[in-house]
Chain A
Amino acid sequence: MNKFAQSNFQVPLSATVEAFIQESPSIFTLRLQLCDSTARDEYSFMPGQFNMLYLYGIGEVPISIVSDPVDSTLIDHTIRVVGRVTEGLAKLKVGDEVGIRGPFGRGWPLALARDKDLLIVTGGLGCAPVVAAINFALNRRAHYENIHIVQGVKHSDDLIWREQYDRWNQMNGVEVLLAADAAGPAWPFHTGQITELLDQVTLSDDSCLVLICGPEGMMKAAAEKLIDDGISPFSIYVSLERNMQCAVGHCGHCQMGPDFLCKDGPVFVYPDVRHRLMQEGI
């Protein structure tokens, strides 16, 4: 056997598009299944991890896995069209093939939230890494005390999965708080900064686990506000983003100070990255 083939982290596996779900004009979900049955059986992941998706002839992009690890044979990726590869992925149809390398990175430490409140704070357009955590937690509702989901968007029109938020909000012990920096007519939720919403969260006590994902400025503002309110910085986790190409800490693009985000993250405990967030050029 070729020496290279034994270490397949560099080489994608082919996967078929099993479903294509248009979430909004620029956001879609690809449900993928590995073609090789052995690889399919061996594949497993945790919420917060990502795959490198390969579009034939164009290249690879890092994409968070949003589906539940209980079924790792169907792997969902929610993707926003932002560049060459994602534009191409948006044109795929059921039955088309792509490549998958993964999963990579450290995911959310959801085990730490056992029997505690879980507070999930997200900003930006349907932040995929936390969607994985939300789905995971709601499917294991009994493992946690109350679950609080705080979502901010730039404009009310950007909110996807509106029905899902409504459904979650009706679940026992689940609180959903939504905010838009700018809102169109008939927006029933908060208009303003996400940090303002954090005052409305009704935590059982301070011993909760907080997961935050979104723009760096929003993550920093939210984390600092929660710390001011008495939550331990060591209970706060953030998911960071940088250019990722190799996904194994070799190519150097995802460095943030001494960390290689692709393998040391993308999820970090807040004190490890607190001083670096929003630092210019780092």
Chain B
Amino acid sequence: MEQQIPSFLLRNDLSVLLDLLVADGYQLHGPQVRDGAITYASISSLSDLPVGYQDQQKPGHYQLAEDHNKRFFHWANGPQALKPLLYPAREVLWQAKRNASGSIQFIVPVQSFEKIAVIGVKACDIAALKLQDQHFLQGEYVDPGYQARREGLLLVAVNCSYAASTCFCVSTGDGPSVESGFDIALTELDEGFLVAAGSEKGERFLTRLPLQNATAQQLDAATQQHETVAAMQTRRLEPIAVGQLNDAREHPQWQDIAERCLACGNCTMVCPTCFCHHQNDELVMKGDESQHIREWDSCFGESHGQLAGFQVRDTIKARYQQWMIHKLDSWQEQYGRSGCTGCGRCMSWCPAEIDFVAEANIIGGADE
């Protein structure tokens, strides 16, 4: 769908959009302050949004501050965005029931898939969603749960007006403004929003909003804001060619990282594109039923590379290599681009303060 000149929506009229979405059967999800971080969860009104909050981030550090602005979305991100909505951290894939004669029946639990509208999705997370779509939907096998949830998803994106020190989406080509993959895009200005549709679904809602024509000043302000937030990003991931990191497995920096890395797996849990999961059986107490569980897994865990009598990656160095080389290098061969969209979460939520971008630039040779 072609991008049109955006219209203007007054600040408080964003509630009209929320009401329209609810009337159309959508559950609303959006950012809110929870446990000291911006978290996406169910919301019911504009008052749930994190007005006036801003996140301070650096490797090993995330802190929210109230900076008394009136904006809903003047922050960078929190630990999670869309991934848990489409690809739950834990779910029952099927149940096996065994009757007295020993025969086994496999049952898929009946689930209802709600239509969910997410308000305030950032460009890095939409880029990550596209990568998860490639992985779960566009290969040989289509994941049915992901597909059902994805079909019911409506995305109201917000162009970033603020970048944390960990943000580097400009260098990965994924932000700070959204270009595609959304239904509605908002650019937040002090007095309201520039609004644009990105899909026919989104367009249908826009036609029912109390929109005004955007003024030249508002359009200028939006352009200015885009340039300002892009310029705020001082962190930059240098381009990595296919094979470049894999060929640098002997680089001494890997061992240096391995001595700091705790192999906790936080980076993989907060990464919006990581897809690894394990499947385990949990016997229900009575013994006549077993749940087959799918749960997020991490390449930093001991069991990830475990084979009968053989451990593929038995050192932290080898596991860190798997994480970084897969994400930035071999991902390109798998999906045609890098698996990193510049959100910076792997750094903020790293307890060892490992700076993923700086390390990649060193190993890639950009910092020498």
Contacts and interface: CB of A to CB of B under 8 A. Distances in A.
* Chain A, interface SS category: loop
Interface in A78-99: 80, 82-83, 86, 95-99
B277 interface: yes
A58 interface: yes
Given A251-B276, A251-B277, A12 B318 contact: no
B93 interface: yes
Contact of A82 (B304, B308, B319, B333): B308
Nearest to A81: B308
Contacts of B334: 258, 260
Given A243-B304, A251-B277, A56 B290 contact: yes
Contacts of A5: 108
Interface string A1-37: 0111111011111100000000000000000000100
B135 interface: yes
A241 B307 contact: yes
B90 interface: no
A53 to B, nearest CB: 12
Contacts of B136: 250
Contacts of A35: 103
A268 to B, nearest CB: 14
Contact of A252 (B110, B145, B277): B277
Which of B135, B281, B297, B331 lies at the interface centre, i.e. has the most chain A CB atoms within 10 A of its CB?
B281
Contacts of B96: 12, 54, 56-57, 99
Which of A80, A98, A241, A252 lies at the interface centre, i.e. has the most chain B CB atoms within 10 A of its CB?
A252
Nearest to A82: B308
B108 A251 contact: no
B93 A243 contact: no
Interface in A26-82: 35, 54, 56-60, 80, 82
B212 interface: no
B186 to A, nearest CB: 32
A82 B309 contact: yes
Contacts of B141: 7, 9, 248-250, 263
* Chain B, interface SS category: mixed
A148 B309 CA distance: 29
A99 B308 CA distance: 21
Interface in B132-152: 135-136, 139-145, 148
Given A99-B104, A253-B297, A281 B249 contact: yes
A59 B281 CA distance: 5
A166 to B, nearest CB: 29
Nearest to A246: B279
Contacts of B306: 243
A167 interface: no
Contact of A3 (B144, B297, B304): B144
Contacts of A98: 104
A241 B305 CA distance: 11
Interface of A: 2-7, 9-14, 35, 54, 56-60, 80, 82-83, 86, 95-99, 241-243, 245-246, 248-253, 255, 257-258, 260, 263, 279-282
